A and B are shown apart, each in its own frame.
Chain A
Amino acid sequence: MNAALAWSDAVTAAQLFAVDPAGAGGVLLRSRAGPVRDRWLAILRAVLPPSQPLKHLPLHIADGRLLGGLDLNATLLAGRPVAERGLLAEADGGVLLVAMAERLSSAAAVHVTSAMDAREIIVERDGLSLRLPARFGVVALDEGLDDELAPAALRDRLAFQLDLNEISSRDADEFVMDESRIGAARGRLKSLKPNREQIDALCGAAGALGIVSLRAPLLALRVACASAALAGRDELEQDDVALAARLVLAPRAVVFPQMEQQPEETAETPPDDDSDNDNDSRDIDKPDVDRTLDEVILAAVEAALPPDVLAALRASSGRARARSSGKAGALQKSNKRGRPTGALRGDVGGGAKLNLIETLRAAAPWQPLRRREAVLTSGNSAQPRILIRKDDFRIARFKQRSETTTIFVVDASGSAALHRLAEAKGAVELLLADCYIRRDQVALISFRGAVAELLLPPTRSLARAKRCLAALPGGGGTPLAAGLDAAFALADLIRRKGQTPTVIVLTDGRANIARDGGQGRPRAEQDAIGAARQFRAAGVTSVLVDTSPRPGAAAETFAKEMGARYLPLPHADARTLSKAVLASAR
């Protein structure tokens, strides 16, 4: 797909979204910040009715502001609780713009998605209980690279997934549109209904593309309606359905639809069984008419898939790149931050944070008494509405939960694989189970051949960890230096997030591939020692498990250079190994 076409699609998506923001869910805009993105946003703003709110959701929004809660200013002024609407309620009837969606924490994402589902927001905070309407569409600005993506729960609910990264500002033409056309389209929207064949066709297309979630065809239907409304039609036509399939379904495709040769055959399905789609039933009770519609849709989808994506889809096993949800906001560095765990009586100062609501609660019962007393002593009846004494001050206490992330670095090279890869895997599984109990996160790096690979970014989902581990192949050279470098980079990143990394290296210490991929033992060992020293210098807790059948000086030297605990475990089984590692990692 060329850039000009991609841009025209993006502009179309902006218009369709403007016709039915809440129905279409929203737009995931994968793009770096820049003129192209700005132009797209300007177009969106131009086509949205000016009366509608366009609210910005900053990344680190507090729950109180997002959901609503007690308006402290007004409460103090009025002397009675005054509710404040949160951002989600304020966005009602309009659009919510989520900046840096790839860093959005999953907790914040859940608030947004549950409001999208219920079309209202339920507030149970600060002594308030409110239900407010919240019908809005979301524009998620996603600047993520490769693996970083907006939370899956959010992505699933957004009809459009645009990628503007490949579009240069030369291709991004200005676009002028009469906003009244959108208004007219909105008026028409209500009366538009897809017919059964169109529903069937979109479901069939979603199935053929290996899309599991049923939200995709539902969103496509809404988009098809919006498209017909925009075109001024009273009924949905083939073009509308095809356009919806191209814009909504194509970006979600997991498998390549096989339609040219055998249109009725089961699509190539990925090996994981939950996206196993059975398309055999497609030809059961269908007249020829909608088979053509099916084909039209698939052709539309296919045209929208860029050739390299097709190649990748064909080649890949269709492994959905599930990424752990955003970890932003998990910074917990001092005891002035973190999860509030209640309030204490105390003095404000020294950086302590006043918990206003608890302070008010503490002061509240005394108000009539104090007022009387104040009037008596001063003789002046004009007193402030709320009389607060030092005794009332309540200091928020925070509990700092420094999360631990255990990074497993597994030597999957030929020399290790021969001896103990299976046992190492078993040990890692047991360690993972232990991490699960302690709610730690785990990450997995393996090295073999010439490179190290981050198989599993830090996650708490053990199902994923296990899948990664089971699929870990063995064989090849031992690029120990590359493995250690990768582990160190990750440990450093985790540290910068305010979490504590622990590195567990399982290797026989026989490095034979240097950093630059060159062969030769001496240079490889030198590089590995260099990589190991970084750990000692940075003071990262680490454990080196020697998995060779005859524990030798090589691995021990590494452990020393790394500042790691050395555990020679020549004949230990998985269980002993995991026990020993845990004992020393604590």
Chain B
Amino acid sequence: MTTAFPFSAIVGQDEMKLALLIAAVDPKVGGVLAFGDRGSGKSTAVRALAALLPKMKVVVGCRYNCDPSNAADFCDECRARAAKGPLKAIQVPVPVVDLPLGATEDRVVGALDLERALARGEKAFEPGLLARAHRGFLYIDEANLLEDHLVDLLLDVAASGVNVVEREGLSIRHPARFVLVGTGNPEEGELRPQLLDRFGLSVEVKTPDDLPSRIEVVRRRDDFENDNEAFVAAWAKQETKLRKSVTAARDRLASVVVSDAALERAAKLCMALGTDGLRGELTLMRAARALAALEGAKSVTDEHLRRIAPPALRHRLRRNPLDDAGSSVRVDRAIAELFG
């Protein structure tokens, strides 16, 4: 496997980095969509995230990454295992699974294990990418070019958290909760509205336009390419620091207070913007809480709401799809009105 560029070494792109960290702190926020210029480091950031995240515990031998401490969520195999005796756990890196555009449906949802079927005549299920991404991240590069039938699959599973396979005489259910991360370039075409709605946070990525940071990007990239091991070692300290703050934020998350006043603010903001459904409020609240946890705050303040509202809401406005710049402006305006 190729070495990933360190997350903390990415120059600028603060909104995207923050959104990814928030999704890492609270997966319930519901995924990150990063749309923007070519060559601005979208994919780099996602791949860097995989190396950054603290490891997680899984049941030994489980093909679905079951959490040994969460018995309610076991797959059928783990349930059977748990009935026999205590489960062994093992630390593994958080999966960041690539969903390549050319993936076939059977690899995404899982299918009959062809090898075992041919060699031994056994009917066995071979888990797909959705199983592998459970409790981790599912990354789609150029999400706007994903074929519709794969999008449909994702929508269903992302909403329910369960992958139901009914094919080739197999009937399997297994947990599949993952953070969906999509990147793309708007020039290639837009994302289907249904898929857009599934992303918790949406960020707009721009290539830095000031010379010093452009130079810094190129320098670091060049250093990395010349000797990636030395480069990663040089940034190891920052990476550890960031990793610790993510772990600390996860522990702190449940204790962060979301006051009624903050909830009311969030609701008012969503009403002012006319977002559809309650998903906007929920995401806004969760993202603000994760942000507060990340920064070590005890409760969610207006400042947190104000910072996280644009990525949480800008893709939920009932907008004119032609209005490319308008939604961010509208969110900013509503925030300014509400928060003064």
Contact = CB atoms under 8 A, between A and B. Distances in A.
A443 B108 CA distance: 35
Size category, B interface: 35 or more
Given A207-B211, A276-B209, A368 B121 contact: yes
A179 interface: no
Given A322-B187, A437-B321, 8 more contacts: A124-B104, A199-B215, A202-B218, A212-B207, A212-B209, A221-B218, A364-B112, A367-B117
B43 interface: yes
B211 A274 contact: no
Interface stretch (B84-92, B219-227, B307-315, B328-336): B219-227
Contacts of A276: 209
B106 to A, nearest CB: 6
B214 A203 contact: yes
Contact of B218 (A131, A214, A365): A214
**Is chain A's interface secondary structure helix, strand, loop, or mixed overall?**
helix
B190 interface: yes
Interface of B: 1-2, 37-41, 43, 98-108, 111-115, 117-123, 126, 128-129, 141-142, 145, 147, 149, 168-169, 185-190, 192-193, 206-212, 214-215, 217-219, 221-222, 225-226, 320-324
Given A81-B115, A122-B100, A110 B142 contact: yes
A15 interface: no
A127 B187 contact: no
Nearest to B142: A110
Contacts of A365: 112, 117, 121-123, 169
B122 to A, nearest CB: 8
A361 B187 contact: no
A81 B122 CA distance: 15
Nearest to B217: A214
Contacts of B189: 460-461
Contacts, number: 201
Nearest to B210: A278
Given A106-B145, A153-B185, A461-B189, A129 B38 contact: no
Interface in A188-233: 193-194, 196, 199-200, 202-204, 206-207, 212-218, 221
Contacts of B188: 106, 153, 325, 461
Given A203-B214, A361-B112, A364-B114, A125 B104 contact: yes
A462 B207 contact: no
A111 B222 contact: no
Closest 6 CB pairs of A and B: A364-B117, A213-B39, A368-B121, A215-B39, A124-B107, A463-B324
Size category, A interface: 35 or more
28 contacts: A107-B145, A122-B98, A124-B107, A125-B107, A126-B104, A126-B107, A152-B187, A153-B142, A193-B222, A206-B214, A212-B207, A214-B207, A214-B217, A218-B221, A274-B37, A274-B206, A278-B211, A281-B210, A360-B114, A361-B168, A365-B169, A366-B121, A368-B120, A369-B121, A429-B322, A432-B322, A436-B190, A460-B190
Contacts of A278: 209-211
Nearest to A342: B105
B219 to A, nearest CB: 5
Contact of A127 (B111, B122, B218): B111
Contacts of B128: 124
B155 to A, nearest CB: 15
Interface string A465-495: 1100000000000000000000000000000
A221 B107 contact: no
A386 interface: yes
Contacts of A391: none
A60 interface: no
B100 A114 contact: yes
